[in-house]
Structure 1
Amino acid sequence: METRELTVVTGSFVTFQLLFSVVSPWLSSVIAPGYGQLPPTKVTEWNSGDPTTVKLNVAITCGYLLYLMLLARNWTTMGDGFFVCHHLAALYAYGYVLTRGVLPYFANFRLISELSTPFVNQWFFEALKVPRSHHLVVLNGVLMSVVFFLVRIAVMPSYWASVLVTFGTPEFERLGVGAQVAWISSCVALDILNTIWMYKITRGCYKVLTRAGGQKAHVNNHKD
């Protein structure tokens, strides 16, 4: 993903988040006085609006995830069990969004995690044999760790709080067992994988930083 695409993704996320969190609640309170009396689940549904745009986002994401067929053809060089599990879990859940149009808000919420993808995919440093102590590698490692934590780990409490509010509501019951299982099981699996990856990323970032710091000190000692 190039800087241009990253800018579009970020701008789209910020715009829709502002519409959902700020514009819609304010405008709805002005136009419809009864808005403030709605239960939390209805407020979420109200503010998320027409799911057409969300379904388009999910459709684009599903096409991207389906490239795991490429991994199957090149498993010896690109294979990663956790990576494939992540793709399959996401496709399983997003399939319900596309076929039944359910859970648009939660589907879009999960797409926040893709803001970390540009930093995770900077594999070309290793392919070009750029030293891990190089300032670009170190910078990318730090940014990857910070952004990954913000969009995949730090959002977990907020996300699951929104999920728990729906339990036992008529809307949750109308989903049916299939959609309920797809939604909850896929999110649990994805968050477990994200936690494992966060641990690995943190360890890798720590090693890169300590190695870079050690080499810098070594150079300074020689200068002295």
Structure 2
Amino acid sequence: METRELAVVASSFVGFQLLFSVASPRLSSTITPGYRQLPPPKLTEWNSRLVSTVHALVVGLFCLYILWFDDKVNANPVWGDPSLVKLNVAITCGYLLYDLVLLACNWSTMGDSFFVCHHLAALYAYGYVLTRGVLPYFANFRLISELSTPFVNQRWFFDALKYPRSHRMVVINGVVMAVVFFLVRIAVMPSYWASVFATFGTPDFERLGLGAQVAWITSCIALDILNTVWMYKIARGCYKVLTRSGGRKVTDGAEASSSSDRKHINNHTD
């Protein structure tokens, strides 16, 4: 890994930590009066999810820029110039390391072995991008899925503030979340896998070596299976909310709802 990428990883780690501990509490308490009424565990998760949203927006929009304007990466998806992709991946690695430390420090309230495994697997896969500069197009394509994260986090924010599921803003966010999740994680699968299969048997693919090939293909299969399961649960939850809302007036207040007290271990499930 080059010095520049190491510096970006370290800088993003520190930046996300400062956002969590300093910027998020000040910004949230100013914008959202209900923030200070939350219990300490929810305050911690609130700040964590705000950091997650910022990371997702930065990385996701950067991914779109690379996809549209980085001709060298698009021309050679396996060995194209990885400079911009490595920068984006380094930001994500800094975020993943920060999140692992946060989980470890708050394990009793936020600990989740699933997310630890997910983060470690992602760091392992992205390590190939940072150290060898391989698969820049595919690494970038995968990170576009982060664009669905802000809507998932926003649903949790509404839930933490005890907005009922029938509230107009909750319903709108839920529908948009389902649509965006489908577009960036499900609808792109055929195009993504067509590009993957097109590399099989080529000299560029053979140059990767078995280790990189296995890490790439197996991680993609696992992620797509997981995304499909999440999409099913999101669609089912969206359908339930829409059908309930259709049977009664959608409220504009923020009354408490019994479903608001449910703990969302998995960000993408209903």
Give the alignment's TM-score, normalised by structure 1. Answer: 0.77
Asked if 1:181 corresponds to 2:214, the answer is yes
CA distance in 1, matches of 2:74, 2:151: 34
Q: Gaps spanning 5+ residues in structure 1: where?
A: 26-41, 218-224
CA-CA distance at 1:81 after TM superposition: 5.0
* CA distances 1:121-163 after superposition (whole Å, capped 9, x unpaired): 1211111111111111111111110000000000011001100
1:18 aligns with 2:68: yes
Cα distance, 1:209–1:86 mapped onto 2, change above 3 Å: farther
Q: Which residue of 2 aligns with 1:152?
A: 185
Match of 1:65 in 2: 96
Aligned to 1:139, the other structure's residue is in SS state helix
1:86 CA displacement: 3.3
Q: 2:242 — aligned with what?
A: 209
Distance 1:9 1:100, change over 3 A: closer
Q: Secondary structure at the match of 1:215?
A: coil
| Structure 1 contact 112–151 (Cα < 8 Å) conserved | yes
Count of aligned positions: 198
Cα RMSD (Å) of the superposition?
2.8
Q: Does 1:140 align with 2:173?
A: yes
Q: Which runs of 5+ in 2 are unaligned?
A: 1-49, 251-270
Render the CA deviation track for 1:77-96: whole Å, top value 9, x for unaligned: 33445444433332221111
Following superposition, the deviation at residue 18 of structure 1 comes to: 2.5
Larger radius of gyration: 1
Query: Is the 1:86–1:190 Cα contact (8 Å) retained in structure 2?
Result: no
- Does structure 1 conserve the Cα–Cα contact (< 8 Å) formed by 2:148 and 2:177? yes
The 1:16/1:150 distance shift into structure 2, 3 A limit, reads same
- Does structure 1 retain, via aligned residues, the 8 Å contact 2:55–2:95? no
Aligned to 1:129: 162
Distance 2:118 2:219 in 1: 9
Fraction of identical pairs, as percent = 74
Equivalent residues of 2:63, 2:143 under 8 A apart: no
Change (3 A) 1:43 1:96: closer
* Alpha-carbon distance, 1:200 to partner: 1.1
Alpha-carbon offset, residue 16 of structure 1 = 2.6
The offset of 1:99, in angstroms, is: 1.3
1:70 CA displacement: 2.2
Judge conservation of contact 1:97–1:107 (CA < 8 Å) in 2. Answer: yes
TM-score of the two chains, using structure 2 as the length reference: 0.65
